Amino acid sequence: MRIKYPHRHAWLLGITLLLGCLSPQVRAAQTSEPPADGTELPAPLPSPAAIHYRGQQRTTLKSLFFRSLGDMKAYYTDPLHWKRRNWEYFGGALAAIAVAHHYDTQVRTHFDSGSRRPLGGKPPSSSTISDALPGFAAFAFTFGYASLTHSSAGQSESWNMLESAGLASLTGFAMKYAFGRQRPYQTTDSNKWFAGGSSFPSLHVTAAFAIGTVLAESGNPRIRWLRRTIGYGIGLGTAYLRMKHNAHWLSDTVAAAALGMATAHFVMDRRAQDGTQNSMVSVVPVRGGAMLAYVQDFN
């Protein structure tokens, strides 16, 4: 198989190979002890591999930024190209929201029964932060582990989490103020729509399901059951907390779950179509030279 690499990095590979072919005498001189007269040797120049790695990071961040802009355009114009399967999913989501709305009052009563908090009292501000921790922890762990292990697949997965949560949250934010639904701590009437509220849908649950779905449907299929348990558990746990803290109605969380999951699948499908999810070309320094490596993850 013939491997191609960008011409703008060809000089880096050439310098790396040249340094790898230096004579043992030159390499020994580079690692020799400092002179006896106390003169300090000049600081060594950064290796071509390090220069390439930093350049690759800048190139990757730039490409991810422009890729996300393209995804945003495709995301908001995607309904114009929906097929039957997409409309079936949308109809099923509306049906689930309608069923949940029927039980909004009962669920609110269940969580708020015996509460001494007055109807107009907001939940503690600490709950706003604590309820977002499960989703944030999943993203932080994925990103941190991928960075420590230099896993391109893990870095792509963490970026998919961030992009999915961002796109879904932007949509959810617009829906909040379009529907203006009052929160359950503001009213006992679950039909208070277009009343200046910001309850529908829950941004916490939207982001949690976006991140959790990427976690659930990515990675090694042999542990898919574990990933799905953790990923969807994060979304369900966040929904439970938001209802327990009397911040959202049941139907708010159902709509948020549908929005987050749909957005995550959109982002992952885009990555699968452009084929950039689990492949990487890099220069790897080895003893006596360098190696051009191409990695493809088939998991």
Residue 227 lies in a domain: yes
* Predicted pLDDT at 97: 97
CA distance 252 to 181: 9
> Which structural domain range is residue 217 located in?
86-109+124-280
Does the pTM surpass 0.85? The reply is no
- The neighbour count for residue 52, using CB atoms within 10 Å, is 19
Residue 11 lies in a domain: no
For residue range 97-116, list pLDDT tens digits in order. 999 999 999 999 988 776 66
Average pLDDT across the chain, whole number: 78
Higher pLDDT, 9 or 190: 190
Work out how many domains the chain is built from and give that number.
1
- Convert 74-85 to b/e letters by CB count within 10 Å (16 or more is b): ebeeeeeeeeee
Residue 285 lies in a domain: no
- pLDDT tops 80 at residue 28: no
CA distance 134 to 145: 16
Higher pLDDT, 142 or 33: 142
Q: The tokens of 145 are what? A: 């582990």
For residue range 229-283, list pLDDT tens digits in order. 999 999 999 999 999 999 999 999 999 999 999 999 999 998 777 654 444 444 4
CA of 229: how far to CAs of 217, 232, 267, in Å? Answer: 11, 6, 21
CA of 29: how far to CAs of 22, 25, 32, 285, in Å? Answer: 11, 6, 5, 20
Residue 1 lies in a domain: no
* Residue 248 and residue 206 in contact, taking contact as beta carbons nearer than 8 Å: no
Residue 19 lies in a domain: no
Residue 250 lies in a domain: yes
- pLDDT tops 90 at residue 215: yes
**Among 78, 63, 70, 19, CA closest to 44:** 19
Residue 299 lies in a domain: no
The CATH number linked to 162 is 1.20.144
Residue 46 lies in a domain: no
Length of the chain counted residue by residue: 299
